[in-house]
Structure 1
Amino acid sequence: MAPKNRPKYLDLLHIKLPVPGLVSILHRVSGALLFLFIPVFLFFLQTSLVSAEGFEAVRRTLDFWPVKLGVIGLVWAFLHHFFAGLRYLAIDLHYGVELAAARASAKAVLAASLALTLILGAILW
């Protein structure tokens, strides 16, 4: 038997992932981002509901362009996590398990999350 030509180590920056693998990793990253920013969401919600001055302070904070970019990033994280979650629910129910269907649904998740992020980002900006 000839030895198999396998890599000695895995360089994650040079591995070409298939689209479903990329969607899987982005699903985890988006979930972590959403989890980490829950306290910020709750702080903004509490501050905006306490008084009119608190609401104005939150509105002024959200008017800064770096904060807007962060909010658009979190909108992407929510949309990607939502659509990828629906895709994984369908796979758990044995829909779209075949290779072609799995690749198509992964591409649909990326397209839908990016398209809606662009639309909502334009509205928020």
Structure 2
Amino acid sequence: MSTPATTSKSAPQRPLSPFMIGPYYKPQMTSMLSITHRITGLGLSLGAILLVVWLSCLAAGPDCYALIAPHLAAWYGKLVIFAFTWSLLYHFCNGIRHLMWDLGKGLDMPTAEKTGYAVIFASLGLTAGVFVLTLV
């Protein structure tokens, strides 16, 4: 008894994965926020290493801290601090959204899209608030 070939010419050609963003898959708010959540989680892990370096230099004394202080004050240091702060606040806001989903709330698409925009605006607003408060 022979089995039919799995690659018959009559089988439609379909993408292999729904995550093939481009001509086969239209990006959605929920998928883009999920990808961003994962990227910010990775960024927070790398930022935690920088935070440990900063705290270690601070604890080691003024000579060690003097080595990293110019980098913190430079434009690229401020950019890293801004990105780390936004990543932390985005991850926090989106984590609350995921907790609500775990409770079965906000799972319908219109609400998921509204809460997605809320996460974006809240994380940007909170980040701006942190920087306004630290500059005063």
Interval containing the TM-score (normalised by the shorter chain): 0.7 to 0.9
Identity across matched positions, percent: 27
Structure 1 unaligned runs (5+)? none
- Determine helix, strand or coil for the equivalent of 1:37: helix
- 1:107 maps to a residue whose letter is Y
Supply the distance in 2 between the matched residues of 1:8 and 1:23 (Cα, whole angstroms): 22
Residue 40 of structure 2 contacts residue 88 of structure 2 at CA under 8 Å; is this kept in 1?
yes
Q: CA deviation at 1:5?
A: 9.0
Q: CA deviation at 1:36?
A: 2.0
- Determine helix, strand or coil for the equivalent of 2:85: helix
Corresponding residue of 1:78: 88
Q: CA deviation at 1:60?
A: 3.0
Pair 1:89-2:99 in alignment: yes
Residues 34-113 of structure 1 aligned to structure 2 (within 5 Å): 34-113=44-123
Judge which range, 7-16 or 36-45, deviates more: 7-16
Q: CA deviation at 1:73?
A: 0.8
Higher Cα radius of gyration: 2
Aligned CA distance change for structure 1 residues 21 and 45 (closer, same or farther; 3 Å): same
- What are the superposed Cα offsets for residues 58-96 of structure 1, whole Å, 9 maximum, x if unpaired? 433311111101110111111111111110011001111
- 1:35 maps to a residue whose letter is S
Pair 1:32-2:79 in alignment: no
- 1:118 maps to a residue whose letter is A
Structure 2 unaligned runs (5+)? 1-10
Q: CA deviation at 1:17?
A: 1.6
Q: CA deviation at 1:21?
A: 1.5
